[in-house]
Amino acid sequence: MNKKCSKLIFVKTIRWREICFGGESLHVALARTASERHWSMHRHDFYECFHIEEGGGWHVLPKERPPLKPGHFVFMRPEHIHGFQSTASAPLHLNNIALAAPVMEAFLARHAELFAAWRSAEEPVTLVLTPWQRRAFTDLVALLGASGRGAVDAEFFLAGLARLLREPVATPHEALPDWLWDALPVMSEPENLRLGVPRLRQLCGRTPEHVSRTFMRCFGQTPTDWLAGARLRHARRLLETTTLSVLDVALECGYDSMSHFHRLFKDDTGTTPLAYRRRAASVQTG
């Protein structure tokens, strides 16, 4: 349950020109809370999002303090006021991305269907990323670290973020329980994907009924559907990046029937595994 704030500390306004050089449209930082008592209430004149990498604590807002845990992803508009409070034992570590307001607003104007949370939300919006999305976001931030800070780099980030958020995402009231957070990264390993739903239930350490209810609440999917999606994503990666035969790809992903694999793959991608590989190779070789 969210904790109500008992008081507000002095609110500082952070301006874009204070954190970036002239002409920059993007700012990337790995931030760490100073202490469990340091709230740092502030507003800013730019857009911001952040992802909790480690630690625990609270997102301090004018009227409440929703909890923050690894995997939480938060959208902030310029008018939002916020700060952070970490637990005494585990300071918050977060990837923070700031975007210049003119660039962000131009992007939103061109892509009205994207980022509804950034377009008009009266309060900060929090999502809970899946383990795959967390890894993809970390990779995206790493790519930003090797690039510039211009408008094209800001749009590169926004396009990448929109792409990874196409996967099912839990909302705050559907936050994953710790036992599921622990199980999913392990289950995503190829040797566990091959073992299927029984292995997933074993890693979760809960009854089949409990596991099924939690998956439906958090992802809107059954464990079987989640597993099917994870297997097909793994199959696409293998077809794109290895020379394994289609048969070996199917076996590696836990499919005993080639006809079943072909049908599911075509339903998911609109093409056969072999045609998918040929198309991927043609893009790479020209």
pLDDT, one tens digit per residue, over 26-51 is: 998 888 776 655 567 889 999 999 99
Query: Number of folded domains in the chain?
Result: 2
Residues 63 and 147 in one domain: yes
Higher pLDDT pick, 134 / 200:
200
Residues 200 and 267 in one domain: yes
Residues 53 and 131 in one domain: yes
pLDDT tens-digit readout, 123-138:
898 888 877 788 889 8
Residues 221 and 259 in one domain: yes
Domain containing residue 46: CATH number: 2.60.120.280
Residues 20 and 143 in one domain: yes
Higher pLDDT pick, 170 / 75:
75
* Closest to 178 in 3D by CA, of 249, 128, 244: 128
Residues 236 and 263 in one domain: yes
To 10 degrees, the CA torsion angle through 261, 265, 268, 273? 170
pLDDT tens-digit readout, 5-31:
444 455 788 999 888 877 899 998 888
Q: What is the domain range of residue 236?
A: 178-285
Residues 160 and 262 in one domain: no
Residues 152 and 190 in one domain: no
Domain boundary among 174, 197, 229: 174
Residues 214 and 112 in one domain: no
Token readout for 179 is 């036992």
- Cα angle: 218, vertex 74, 230; to 5 degrees: 40
Residues 74 and 186 in one domain: no
Residues 33 and 139 in one domain: yes
Cα(147)–Cα(154) distance, integer angstroms: 10
**Could you tell me if residue 55 is inside a domain?**
yes
